[in-house]
Amino acid sequence: MRLTPDTAGLEQWMKSWYGPAYRTACLVLNDSAGAEEAVQEAFLRMWRFRDAMPEGDAARPWLYRVVVNSCYSWARKEWAADGRRAPAASLDSLAESSPGPDEIAVIGDRATAVRAALARLPEALRVPVVLRYYAGLSEKEIALAIHRRPGTVKSRLHEARRLLSADAALNALAEEKEATR
């Protein structure tokens, strides 16, 4: 589907892409209310600058780029407001704060566990992971979306996988999921 909206096709276009954009923002922010706000802002920005919207293959990265930027804006605003900070990037802190399998069993919610693991990733790593493994963008498209070089995206994805692999809870979930297949 061509992403460039016009006045007549705006509603259809919006409904087609709102869901993926909203869920991407939820995974990036781990906050559904913030994601809704950020995605709304993102779509309004896209509508405002619809003349600048690229066509063809570049449209999808452009869409996610605007969404990610809106997420960053919302997060900055929130952090400034309540003093929150981005999660620490170190493996040690990640390992220390990771819930164990028993705890996950108590929670009984794999999605929550995945979101918690994502939230523990640094923002610079979390965004490429979400765009790659949820939104399905290629490394080249992610590079366009986050305005970084493909090599940078590749190294960030590698680092993110390494950190997530060290997350015992996530590993347990992956093994469990693999076993159920």
Token pair 């309540």 is found at: 82
Task: Compute the distance between CA of residue 137 and CA of residue 139 in angstroms, rounded to an integer.
Answer: 7
- Does position 110 bind other proteins by CB under 8 A? yes
Stretch binding other proteins (CB under 8 A), from 43-51, 88-96, 139-147, 148-156: 43-51
- Does position 115 bind other proteins by CB under 8 A? yes
List, as own/partner pairs, every contact residues 164-168 make where C-beta atoms lie below 8 angstroms and the sequence separation is at least 24, other chains included.
Answer: 164/117, 164/121, 164/129, 166/91, 166/94, 166/95, 167/94, 167/95, 167/98, 167/117, 167/120, 168/95, 168/98, 168/100, 168/101
CB 34 within 8 A of CB 20: no
Residue 173 Cβ vs other proteins, minimum distance, rounded to whole Å: 6
- Does position 129 bind other proteins by CB under 8 A? yes
Q: Which of 48, 52, 56, 81 touches other proteins (CB under 8 A)? A: 48
Given the rule CB under 8 A, which residues bind other proteins?
7, 10-11, 14-15, 18-19, 22-24, 26-27, 32, 35-36, 39-40, 43-45, 47-48, 110-112, 114-115, 118, 129-130, 133-134, 161-162, 164-165, 170-171, 173-174, 177-178
